Structure 1
């Protein structure tokens, strides 16, 4: 499996994005393209295909330090044209877009702020809607969702760019959904069941909502798998990140959020009579 030298794409590190049109993409597998770049001394380039209905484009991202001499587009074109394994592919340079390293650093900072603020917003909302113990369980599950997704996604060899930030923000919003459904059920049980312990009540509510949680997740995972199979480029990476996040968030809504909530209350029942 190909793994880039940096986990961050040019959106965050700065660099150049060069686009080529490809007449015969079947004659230009990505492995041969990477080999052509490597032979030309361009070791950190990340090529990927983008396809429309009638045309195929090769998008190549290179770190900022590889474009200091301003001839990156020329060097890549020469490498592709001279590679023996790419004969008949028909590459045409469509242009280059550059992102400065300072702008890339600002984007990375903004991405972290966006994810952090969304998590804090969830903490406040669930605290108002339920109690802080419930919010603590839900946000702990969200943090596990994001960290686990980032770790697995990076281990699979993908790079992080703004598209993946969008996927992570979607996971933050989606991941709390199953947890809220469970917490709503627990709140209803607290109002009607005065005999069971809080642990027994939580366990019963997990079993009641489990079928709904699994079916909801599956209905979302199926179209995401379709995106993974039938798309390439940024959408493919987005879909892979979403698939990981959906699976992880389904698990954490059952095995992380409730235990953290129960640990906070230490077997005492919360008073949710004033919440709606």
Structure 2
């Protein structure tokens, strides 16, 4: 007995509103880019430079009191946030204090960290620093460039791979879907002001890998059906392909999301941003595999008879002569 999330034989029309779904995706990308441009990202210490201090205390955290205690030190930009986690006991109060890199220094000096601890002990005598992480402005700038290069190289390699394995229309559709997923994820991080750090870059690369895997599975079935049903309209053929792979897509995404949601709820604040990025990426990645990648292939058209070369129309025709399989 096998578990099925969808009936064995489905005939849903995924491209009935192709123009609207593609238009909605384009609008979402534009809004995400606008949020990125006007709101900006909440860069973590990896990209901004400075020092992050994690504190613990049995005494309840009062962010205003903490800020007042640090005010005389004139540290510049200081961000204080309380960390909530289901696994914390009532006597475990955790805060994250982010201090910008001081002028002329690569990071906050050790003596200044000691001054910060002394200042906070005046309002929370039992406070202790469980971790202190520092990144210099020069290093953070290099990390941003490296992250951009990593994403660009991954997408370029995928573009080349899909182009070799299929046709150029498939490559364009796959890369458009990947860019859609990455930009929407960045847009959500911008709107919600979730911390954007190196862990988020790792999540984006994971999203790229997951999304292209889902897209290639459907592309493989589509290529088989292009040979099998040579006279079927491309739109109907693509609907058939998506319906045939629908159970696999939902089972793969669903089981992955179960594990991710558990990590999102119980995994703690350290990995929460990373897990949220992957969770969001899987949702939009599953959507884009059909409603972005396949919509673009449908618009561009594909070569229909893969059993023989067609030098004049290869890769541009919706139909060619031949018999139905």
Q: TM-score range by the shorter chain?
A: 0.7 to 0.9
1:82 aligns with 2:122: yes
Secondary structure, counterpart of 1:232 in structure 2: coil
1:240 aligns with 2:280: no
Aligned counterpart for 2:47 among listed residues 4, 12, 15: 12
Secondary structure, counterpart of 1:18 in structure 2: strand
1:63: which partner in 2?
Answer: 100
1:215: which partner in 2?
Answer: 251
1:187: which partner in 2?
Answer: 223
1:127 aligns with 2:167: no
State which structure, 1 or 2, has the greater radius of gyration over its C-alpha atoms.
Answer: 2
In structure 2, runs of 5+ residues without a counterpart are 1-38, 310-325
2:113: which partner in 1?
Answer: 73
RMSD: 3.1
Structure 1 residues 190 and 5 mapped into 2: Cα distance closer, same or farther (>3 Å)?
A: closer
Tell me the TM-score normalised to structure 2 length: 0.71
In structure 1, runs of 5+ residues without a counterpart are none
1-side partners of 2:243 and 2:80: how far apart? Answer: 46
CA shift for structure 1 position 66: 7.7
Tell me the TM-score normalised to structure 1 length: 0.82
2-side partners of 1:53 and 1:28: how far apart? Answer: 13
1:45: which partner in 2?
Answer: 79
2-side partners of 1:45 and 1:227: how far apart? Answer: 26
Q: Is the 8 A contact 1:141 1:256 kept in 2?
A: yes
CA shift for structure 1 position 112: 0.7
Q: Is the 8 A contact 1:119 1:139 kept in 2?
A: yes
Q: Is the 8 A contact 2:214 2:249 kept in 1?
A: yes
Structure 2 matches for 1:115-154, cutoff 5 A?
115-154=151-190
Secondary structure, counterpart of 1:61 in structure 2: strand
Q: Is the 8 A contact 1:36 1:79 kept in 2?
A: no
Greater helix content: 1
Secondary structure, counterpart of 1:149 in structure 2: helix
1:35 aligns with 2:59: no
Structure 1 residues 94 and 208 mapped into 2: Cα distance closer, same or farther (>3 Å)?
A: closer
1-side partners of 2:234 and 2:41: how far apart? Answer: 47
